[in-house]
Amino acid sequence: MDTTQLLKGVLDLAVLAVLKDEDGYGYDILRRLRTAGLEEVGDASVYGTLRRLFQAGLLNTYVVPSEEGPHRKYYGLNAAGRDQLNRAGKTWRGFASTMDALLDERGVAA
Amino acid sequence: MDTTQLLKGVLDLAVLAVLKDEDGYGYDILRRLRTAGLEEVGDASVYGTLRRLFQAGLLNTYVVPSEEGPHRKYYGLNAAGRDQLNRAGKTWRGFASTMDALLDERGVAA
DNA sequence: GAAGCTACTTCGCAATGCGAGGTAGTGTCA
DNA sequence: TGACACTACCTCGCATTGCGAAGTAGCTTC
């Protein structure tokens, strides 16, 4: 079972979540996700997601030149982004508990 | 946030799960899933998933004529299917708890 | 000056859920 | 009888989205 497919629709949520407390740039967000346990996330997925979320008006962005490497394109949640984070979070929780119940009732897996 | 995207990769697991205790035919499986809380699942998705699972060698199938309507194409788990169900179940539980932790740490949603 | 890490981008593919449409059998009810 | 509705299945093609591959570029270290 591919974790790739499980990520569909959830990566948005995950990216919004790791941006909640602190703005971040792509490469850094990638690291945060992997540290959080999503180790198989590809970099192209993150950059693509950021672009989509930005185009959807959920993120602000600004470029910061770095003294120790290439420039960094920072992203941060705006009001709409925070809103979406909450909504997506609830959707996820609901969905996950539906699935858990479905599995529990049939005694699937540990 | 689309539940459609959340279903990706999980529908396989859900279908395997509802077949664990009792064989079923497409239309019936659709009802089981909807009853279990996955109300937005489309019929085409279920039929497609069944075909894929069958082609992957995880299901047995046999046709039973019905006296109260069209014939029914039953599907049931075989050994490989039960195996896959357990593996996919564990993958899901792991993934879900990773996501939950990620959200919890940042105090997202209820 | 070759590696290797940081940092971002573009391209096109693969997987999969779904809507739309079609085919049939059965039952109901005016 | 004829219209409708429910059961039951199938096919086609689209939309979304995560990803691999490849490329560009700056910086540090050996």
B35 and B18 in contact (C-beta within 8 Å)? no
Model confidence at B69, pLDDT cuts 50, 70, 90, reads confident
Our measurement of CA A67 to C1' D27, in angstroms, reads 9
Query: In angstroms, rounded to a whole number, what is the distance separating the alpha carbons of residues B13 and B84?
Result: 8
Cα B11 to its chain centre, rounded Å, is: 4
pLDDT digits (tens, 9 = 90+) for B1-52: 578 999 999 999 999 999 999 999 999 999 999 999 999 999 999 999 999 9
Q: How many CB atoms lie within 10 A of CB B19?
A: 24
Query: In angstroms, rounded to a whole number, what is the distance separating the alpha carbons of residues A24 and A22?
Result: 6
From A62-76, B18-32, B36-50, B86-100, the region with the lowest mean pLDDT: A62-76
How high is the pLDDT of residue A11? 97
CA nearest to A102, candidates B61, B51, B54, B11: B11
Q: How many CB atoms lie within 10 A of CB A70?
A: 8
Query: In angstroms, rounded to a whole number, what is the distance separating the alpha carbons of residues A63 and A75?
Result: 9
| pLDDT mean across residues, chain B | 94
Helix (H) or strand (E) holding B62: strand B59-64
Task: Report chain A residues whose CB lies below 8 A from the CB of B77.
Answer: none
CA distances from B84 to A45, A98, B47, B75, B90 (A): 27, 20, 19, 15, 10
Residues 35-74 (A) with a CB less than 8 A from some CB of B: 36-38
Residue A79 near chain B (CB below 8 Å): no
Model confidence at A1, pLDDT cuts 50, 70, 90, reads low
Tell me the mean pLDDT in the region A62-87: 93
Query: In angstroms, rounded to a whole number, what is the distance separating the alpha carbons of residues B3 and B14?
Result: 14
Q: Which two tokens stand for residue A109?
A: 């897996």
Q: Which residues numbered 38-67 in chain B sit less than 7 A from strand C, measured from CB? A: 40-45, 48-49, 52, 67
Closest-approach nucleotide to residue A28, Cα vs C1'? C7
**pLDDT above 60 (res A90):** yes
How high is the pLDDT of residue A26? 95
One-letter amino acid of B33: L
**pLDDT: is B68 or B56 the higher one?**
B56
How high is the pLDDT of residue B109? 80
Beta bridge partners of A68: none
| pLDDT mean across residues, chain A | 94
Query: In angstroms, rounded to a whole number, what is the distance separating the alpha carbons of residues A92 and A84?
Result: 12
Share of chain B above pLDDT 70, in %: 99
Model confidence at B70, pLDDT cuts 50, 70, 90, reads confident
Share of chain A above pLDDT 90, in %: 90
What are the structural domains of chain B? 3-103 (1.10.10.10)
Return the residue in B38, B95, B97, B105 with the most chain A beta carbons within 10 A, the one to mutate for interface testing.
Answer: B95
Query: In angstroms, rounded to a whole number, what is the distance separating the alpha carbons of residues B98 and A31?
Result: 15
